[in-house]
Chain A
Amino acid sequence: MGLFRWSQSRSLWMMHFCTGCGAVEMPPTMTSRYDMERFGIIPMATPRQADILLITGYLTVKTLKRVVRSYEQMADPKYVIGFGSCTINGGMYWDSYNTVKQLDLYIPVDLYIAGCMPRPDSIIDAFVKLREMIAKGEANGWKRYRENLEWYRTNQAKVFNVEKWSAIEP
């Protein structure tokens, strides 16, 4: 099992859900200056193949639906990184009527990167942190999500303003 966990920590395929302005920080992180492939992190096209879900900024309620679906399509173990202050407390959209203020309520976030915007350095730093957490077995968001699915569902349903909600089957 150790081999697998080690390789999990060293091979992180990322799906960046480019919502807010944070997305613009990703290209420098990927390309030659910062080169996150050093850490085995490469962008993936579909959530199926990805290990990390990167929420790069604020989420509107409408987008949240897609995020939840994408998250549920990922295979375990999977990790979520909240990107920038918008995902923590709404950031500059703190009083907006249609953005999600606290991402943690809807999907389990393993790691937040503070800042508005966070620099590529801090993104890399977050990745390294995540690697350590995985290696130690601390990044357990996916387990939390599975265990507290009802709670998450309820939160999601509340913000979507529906009675009951499931991600895939409408």
Chain B
Amino acid sequence: MTFWVIASYFLGGIVAYVLARPSRKIGAFVALLFSIYPLYALIPALDGGFYLRFTVIPYYLHLSFRLTLLGWFFALIAATLYSLSLFSAYSEKRDSFFLLSSMFSAGGLMGVFLAADYLTLFIFFEIMAFFSAFTFIREHRRSALKYIIYSLVGSYAFLAALLVINRSTGSLEITPLSGFGGSVPAVMSLFILAFWVKSAVMPFHPWAPSAYADSPHSYTPFFSGALSKSGVYGLVLAFFYIFAGFFKSHHAFGYIFAWIGALTALFAGIYALLQDDAKKLLAYSSISQLGYVAFGLGLGTSLSITGSLFVALGHAVFESLLFFVIAAVYIRTGTTMLTEMGGLIKKMPISFIALLFGIIAAAGIPPTVGFPGKWMLYEAVLEKGYPLLAGAIFAASITAFLYCYRLIYSIFLGPLKKEFRDVREAPFPALVPLLLLLIPLLFFGLFPGYVVDVTDSILREFGYLGVPHTPAKLLSGLGTFNGLAVGITMGAAFVIAFLVHAVFSRSRKVSELNNYTAGEVAEGVSMHYVADFYKFIERELHGFLKLRVEALFNWIAEGIGGLGEVLRRVYAGDIQAYLVYLILFLGFLFTLYRGVLRW
């Protein structure tokens, strides 16, 4: 069955590719059908994982799969998001190659979650990376290449780790590392690099903003929401399963990683403020959220791991919701630039509501899915007694308020642009994911306990204690959070506030030109304060913003390119130079063997 969960995507990709040639909509529809099967197969598979080893490849290497609870958790998220993204793709009338590559990347992702040995993991990781890049390599070559190169650096590091482990232990199976001969930290660093890159935790994030911004709009939700989870999955696996012994005995490592995560969350949040492209903004927001995840994993208490997994789930829900909204908006407006939109609330109310809930969740405001995870992280860091770390992630969450507001204001609020006077609400299929994602967004916010049920079982597999909870209420040693209580109180408070509002005289809607502008009529003047929204922050952080790790990586890449540029002068085109090389090589060999060659 696990096999078919994965194979369904590959098969479906090919079928959709063929069928999308005559009609793109049919292709998308067929892809949707094929992508629903894994969902259908995964949902009941919760009761007990199973192990499956079979040799697809009759070679001395083989592939094996298993369904663990952790894998199931992420696989379900991924399968759901992928199916939803196809609705959006249906509206966007994506072509056959997109369907093929996105299906394949989804299949690759499933393979990653269900792999039982390192090689399988690596193989599907590669497939996922390549085919997700192929979805947009045609339109945006630069960012696709950037993405794929970062991924390859990561996955080859993983490959190296895999080879080292295989050399030392003689097995490729994913098991806790025991009897390993070499240096564990080195192997672990290599091992997690791939996932580090994939989850776009700093300093290996520079691929993410451009890749998220440039990937097809219907694919980005899956890209950001699910694909990055493969990184989280790998990190969880590395820290709490494979290298658990090392991780538990070396607190410094976890502490440093927690700092990396916290700073990622903070810095990415700050960068997100300054973006003018909605997708770039969301990309940085995504990085920021994954910074929280990394932070929680680094802390390594059961509370923080649960928090991380919850944030991962929450991120999958609201980040993809936000990206879906951008996709829906793009269908109608043809732009993702914040500076070019505005006032769309009047034209696209459903999208607005979705975005509103999305940003509320992204800002981590209860009772939405964004909060419980963060709450657990705060509790965990407090429990550990790291106030500075707590401060860092709290600062990061403030940046979330900032960029969230900017996002919703720039797109939906403010004056309506002239060119969008005739815009309609997005087509229905593009709205389906928005509406469907609102359900988990609110449900898991009100009843976080249902998620914690699952994460508890996962934690128990890793030998950690669970987090005490009831369906609505989470308890830590330090405090409580009752999602339902917050929800009910909020509802009651809203009723009160609304009554106060409703009791008094009705208001009259006025045109947006009827604005206080010191008596002037601002006709033909943009009243949309949107460019350089947070200019003052940029000004204050000028020195800091100049430090970009991307510059370092670019410098390395440029260095390699320049090295190639210099070294290829060796092929000078002059035959006599070539002869000289030959002679020199002969000379070199004779000097090399001068000890032996003495007659």
A and B touch in the complex (CB under 8 A): yes
The chain A residues found within 8 Å of chain B, CB to CB, are 46-48, 65-67, 69-70, 73, 168-170
**Chain B facing A: main interface SS:** loop
Give the residues in chain A near B514, CB-CB below 8 Å: 73, 168
B521 & A70 in contact (Cβ 8 Å cutoff): no
**A67 close to B519 (CB less than 8 A):** yes
B599 at the A/B interface (Cβ < 8 Å)? no
* A47 to B514 alpha-carbon distance, docked (Å): 12
Chain A residue with the shortest CB-CB distance to B507? A75
Q: Which of B516, B518, B520, B521 contacts A48 (CB 8 A)?
A: B516
- Report the Cα distance A70→B516, complex, angstroms: 8
Q: Check: B523 CB closer than 8 A to any chain A CB.
A: yes
- B518 partner residues in chain A, CB cutoff 8 A: 66
Contacts of B511 in A (CB 8 A): 168-169
Instruction: Decide: A66 near B519, CB < 8 A? Known: A168-B511, A168-B514.
Output: yes
Residues of A near B516 (CB, < 8 A) are 46-48, 70, 73
Closest 7 CB pairs of A and B: A66-B519, A46-B516, A168-B514, A69-B519, A70-B519, A170-B521, A48-B516
Residues of A within 8 A of B513 (CB): 168-169
A65 shortest CB reach to chain B, Å:
7
A170 in contact with B523 (CB, 8 Å): yes
Give every chain B residue within 8 A of A69 (Cβ-Cβ).
519-521
A66 touches B523 (CB 8 A): no
Q: Shortest beta-carbon distance, A30 to chain B, in Å?
A: 20
Chain A min CB distance to B514 (Å) = 5
Q: Which residues of A contact B523 (CB under 8 A)?
A: 170
Q: Mark B504-527, 1 if CB is under 8 A from A, else 0.
A: 000000110110101111010000
Residues of A within 8 A of B519 (CB): 65-67, 69-70
Hey, which bits of chain B sit against chain A, CB under 8 A?
A: 510-511, 513-514, 516, 518-521, 523
Q: How far is the CA of A65 from the CA of B516 in the complex (A)?
A: 14
Q: How far is the CB of A115 from chain B (nearest CB, A)?
A: 26
Taking A46-B516, A70-B516 as known contacts, 19 extra A-B pairs with beta carbons closer than 8 A to each other, sorted by chain A number, are A47-B516, A48-B516, A65-B519, A66-B518, A66-B519, A66-B520, A67-B519, A69-B519, A69-B520, A70-B519, A73-B514, A73-B516, A168-B510, A168-B511, A168-B513, A168-B514, A169-B511, A169-B513, A170-B521
Taking CB as reference atom, which chain B residue is nearest A63?
B519
Shortest Cβ distance from B523 into A: residue: A170
A70, closest chain B residue (CB):
B519
A67 and B520 CA atoms in complex are apart in Å by: 10
Tell me the bound Cα distance from A38 to B547 in angstroms. 55
24 A-B residue pairs with CB within 8 Å: A46-B516, A47-B516, A48-B516, A65-B519, A66-B518, A66-B519, A66-B520, A67-B519, A69-B519, A69-B520, A69-B521, A70-B516, A70-B519, A73-B514, A73-B516, A168-B510, A168-B511, A168-B513, A168-B514, A168-B521, A169-B511, A169-B513, A170-B521, A170-B523
Residue of B nearest to A49 (CB): B516
Would you give the shortest CB distance from A131 to chain B, in whole angstroms?
A: 22
In the assembled complex, the Cα of A56 lies from the Cα of B496 at a distance in Å of 42
On chain B, the residues within 8 Å of A170 by CB distance are: 521, 523
Q: Provide the bound-state CA to CA distance between A170 and B511, in Å.
A: 12
CA distance A96 to B236 in the complex (A): 82
Give A170 to B510 CA distance when docked, in angstroms: 14
Residue of A nearest to B524 (CB): A170
Chain A residues, Cβ within 8 Å of B521: 69, 168, 170
Chain B residue nearest to A45 (CB atoms) is: B516
CA distance A170 to B518 in the complex (A): 16
Q: Which residue of A lies closest to B520 (CB)?
A: A66
Alpha-carbon gap, A106 to B550, bound state (A): 63
Measured in the bound complex, the distance between the Cα atoms of B515 and A70 in whole Å is 9
CB A11 to nearest CB in B, in angstroms, measures 16
Query: Separation in Å of the A63 CB from the closest CB of chain B?
Result: 8
User: Cα distance A47–B519 when bound, in Å?
Assistant: 9
CA distance A169 to B510 in the complex (A): 11
Whole-angstrom distance between the alpha carbons of A73 and B514 in the complex?
Answer: 7
Q: How far is the CB of B503 from chain A (nearest CB, A)?
A: 12
- Identify the closest chain B residue to A67 (Cβ): B519
Most buried by B among A46, A48, A65, A69: A69
- Give the docked Cα–Cα distance between A80 and B518 (Å): 17
A68 closest partner in B (C-beta): B519
Q: Which residues of B contact A46 (CB under 8 A)?
A: 516
Within the complex, the shortest CB–CB distance from A112 to chain B, in Å, comes to 22
The interface residues of chain A lying within 8 Å CB-to-CB of B510 are 168
* Bound: A69/B516 CA distance, A: 9
The CA-CA distance from A48 to B514 in the complex, in Å, is 11
Q: For the complex, what is the distance from the CA of A48 to the CA of B518, rounded to whole Å? A: 11
A59 CB to closest chain B CB (Å) equals: 12
- Docked pose: A65 CA to B521 CA in angstroms: 10
The answer for the CA separation of A170 and B513 in the assembled complex, in Å, is 10
A97 shortest CB reach to chain B, Å: 22
Contacts of A73 in B (CB 8 A): 514, 516
Chain A residues closer than 8 Å to B520, beta-carbon distance: 66, 69
**In the complex, which residue of chain B has the Cβ closest to the Cβ of A65?**
B519
CB distance from B512 to the nearest CB of A (A): 10
* Least distance between B127 CB and chain A CB atoms (Å): 59
List residues of chain B with CB within 8 A of the CB of A65.
Answer: 519
A51–chain B nearest beta-carbon distance, Å = 15
**Minimum C-beta distance from B451 to chain A (A):** 45
CA distance A39 to B519 in the complex (A): 27
B51 → A minimal CB distance (Å): 68
Output the least CB separation between A16 and chain B (Å). Answer: 13
Q: How far is the CA of A168 from the CA of B519 in the complex (A)?
A: 9
Which of the listed residues B510, B514, B516, B520 has the most CB atoms from chain A within 10 Å of its own CB?
A: B516
B418 to chain A, nearest CB (A): 15
Q: Complex: how many Å from CA A170 to CA B516?
A: 15
A78 to chain B, nearest CB (A): 14
- B281: shortest Cβ distance to chain A, in Å? 31
Give CA–CA (A170, B519) in the complex, Å.
12
Complex alpha-carbon distance, A48 and B511, angstroms: 14
| Assembled-state Cα–Cα distance A67/B519 (Å) | 7
Chain A nearest CB, measured from B506 CB (Å) = 12
In angstroms, Cα B520 to Cα A47, docked, is 13
Q: How far is the CA of A98 from the CA of B523 in the complex (A)?
A: 25
User: CA–CA, A48 to B508, complex, Å?
Assistant: 13
Closest to A168 in B: B514
Closest residue of chain A to B519, judged by CB?
A66
